[in-house]
Chains A and B, each alone.
Chain A
Amino acid sequence: MSALLSVNALSKEFGGVHAIEDLSFEVARGDVHAIIGPNGAGKTTLFNLVTGLYQPSAGGVRLNGQDITGRQPHKLCEMGMARTFQNLQICMNMSAVENVMLGRHRHLGSGALSAMLRLPGQRRADRACRQQCRELMEFVGCGAYLEHAASAMPYGALKRLEIARALAAEPDILLLDEPAAGLNATETGALRDVIQRIAEKGITVVLVEHDMKLVMSVSDRLLVISYGRKLAEGTPSEIREHPEVIAAYLGGGANNKQEVPA
């Protein structure tokens, strides 16, 4: 079994509304796997279920063969899962580099005593961590903000800062939630390079994104969901030809349902 992440018959209900319904798919190790679908299709809900922020109503998730359904986010992080957010989750009370350093939490000892006494071992580790995180900021393209407070950074840079924070955890699998939203064409181009280089490092990437040009150029496989259900699955070229996907995206077709907000 080569799937790193496998989602099995997952469902999530919010007061009778099915945000995700009986969804199953697998993400192979080392792939860039995109999840696309119209607004309200349940993509972010899916991310929240996989990363443990929501509890599923039914079904399960496995990471590396291990059942991780409903496990707490911090435990999943320790198992090698990292993510970014569509609506930024940045600590505005910290500096930019400290936000990235937060991502290295699982690699650092955070004992109270060594912190209070400022023990040399912890200081050394912390200094090395800072250096690593500055390099990560350069890597994702926000090297211009090494000395900035997070609250003084523009939106586009904060989106990349989240990627740096996620990478700092040295994950096996990285979930990116609409990383290109709000970015201009140049920034999106740079983002494509970043995603490709992340994949080259052997990190499995799950990507929720609306920018089809970006999705089609970086993804190995795609999953299309609509109203919380699987619509199609396949390689970029298969998806491009898929009649139901074309119907859903062009809005025509025989079963033109009403859009359900989720």
Chain B
Amino acid sequence: MKTPFLRSPYAGLLLLALVLALMPFLVRNDFHYDLLTKICLTATVAVGLNLLVGYAGQVSLGHAAFYAGGAYASAILTSQYQITPLPAMLIAAAGVGVIAWLVGRPILHLKGHYLSMATLGLGVIAAIVLNNEDQLTGGPDGIGLPPLSLLGHELSVFGEYPFAGLTLTGVELWYLLAAAVLLLAVLLALNIIDSPLGRALRALHGSEIAAQVAGVDTARFKLRVFVISAVYASVAGSLYGHYSGFITPGIASFEHSIELITIVVLGGMASTFGVIIGAVILVLIPQFLTDFQELEMVVFGAILMAVMIFLPRGLLPTLLSRFQRGAR
């Protein structure tokens, strides 16, 4: 009666680890590593957001605020309070978690479009604050971050690091770090989904009434998943800040929030591996669209509409169900 390992989601995790481990043999240059690192960090946010949107069925159109919250908190704590990056990142995550808890309490009892409206509003307000409080945030010009440091060792994209007879470049190490973070993020998400907590969350989506009469304090569980997904975003944001060395309020914008939710819906709601594919696509699309230059937005908009109209359940779930139907 135990599900065979190959059919369990953990087999997917193994496959993901394998793919991530093989990447260094396929890519040739720093630019590719840069894309891979960005994909891993973006996918980490998406995996967390998917817990909220895909599994628990609660829309957030303002999640970029939490991502930016993590990045800006890291920037301010390291540059203005001289806290080392790792503790700063943890403080940032805890702070963002508390903020998510505070703002989540009043808004998560809203339903449907009203919840969209409220989360959107929070996101826009956060972006405006980051733009205007320039003593703290550097305003529209942005703010710099020092390189990440682990146990006193700096991890700079420009560094070279001898390791077991090999010399790894900073970009390569950054990719490995981001990949490890993504794997951890996926592992934690898979664990949550297959647990009493995960069932309660999925029940919020499936039937909130069923969840209530089964004893689930729906308000409390919505808040929990909101906080969890915000912390995911915060950690990824902090890492991105240290990786890029410089951030601007653009990362908190409505457009960025939309990009994040698009990744989830495009890849496949309630499909952890689907949203990773969504992240791959959303990060890579602009690279391919540079050929279209001026028509970039037109093509992007058209792709978005077409995928959502023809594959409303998202890429991976739709493809998987076609595949299964074909196998029968």
Contact = CB atoms under 8 A, between A and B. Distances in A.
A binds B: yes
Chain B contact surface mostly: helix
A254 interface: no
A116 to B, nearest CB: 5
Interface string A8-31: 000000000000000000000000
A49 B6 CA distance: 47
Given A112-B192, A115-B192, A116-B188, A74 B205 contact: no
A210 interface: no
Interface string A172-204: 000000000000000000000000000000000
Contact of B210 (A102, A110, A126): A102
A117 to B, nearest CB: 7
A99 to B, nearest CB: 8
B191 A115 contact: yes
B203 A109 contact: no
B270 interface: yes
B80 interface: no
B197 A110 contact: yes
A90 B207 contact: yes
Contact of A92 (B206, B212, B214): B206
Interface string B163-204: 000000000000000000000000010011001111110110
Interface string B208-235: 0111111111100000100010000000
Contacts of A112: 192, 197, 224, 228
Given A74-B218, A94-B202, A118 B195 contact: yes
A143 interface: no
A106 interface: yes
Contacts of A111: 197
A159 to B, nearest CB: 13
Contacts of A83: 213
A110 B217 CA distance: 11
Interface in A131-171: 134, 150, 165-166, 169
A67 interface: no
Nearest to A168: B214
Contacts of B195: 110, 114-115, 118, 122, 126
Nearest to A175: B213
A68 B160 CA distance: 67
Interface in A63-92: 72-74, 76-78, 82-83, 85, 89-92
Contacts of A104: 196
A30 to B, nearest CB: 22
B37 to A, nearest CB: 24
B274 to A, nearest CB: 14
A112 B224 CA distance: 8
Residue of A98, A101, A105, A111 with most chain B CB atoms under a 10 A cut-off: A105
A37 interface: no
Residue of B207, B211, B214 with most chain A CB atoms under a 10 A cut-off: B214
B197 A53 contact: no
B5 to A, nearest CB: 15
A93 interface: yes
A103 B214 contact: yes
A128 interface: no
Contacts of B270: 93
A51 interface: yes
Residue of B191, B206, B213 with most chain A CB atoms under a 10 A cut-off: B213
Given A105-B200, A116-B188, A93 B210 contact: no
A94 B211 CA distance: 12
B202 A74 contact: no
A108 interface: yes
Contacts of B1: 134
Given A85-B209, A89-B207, A116 B196 contact: no
Nearest to B2: A127
Contacts of A73: 209, 212-213
Contact of A93 (B206, B215, B224): B206
A229 to B, nearest CB: 26
A91 B206 contact: yes
A114 B197 CA distance: 9
Contacts of B209: 53, 73, 85, 89
Contacts of B213: 51, 53, 73-74, 76-77, 82-83, 89, 166
Given A53-B213, A74-B214, 17 more contacts: A85-B210, A89-B207, A90-B206, A91-B210, A92-B207, A93-B202, A93-B205, A94-B199, A98-B199, A102-B210, A105-B216, A111-B197, A116-B188, A118-B191, A126-B195, A165-B214, A166-B213
12 contacts: A72-B212, A73-B212, A74-B214, A77-B214, A77-B215, A89-B213, A90-B207, A92-B207, A93-B270, A94-B202, A102-B216, A105-B199
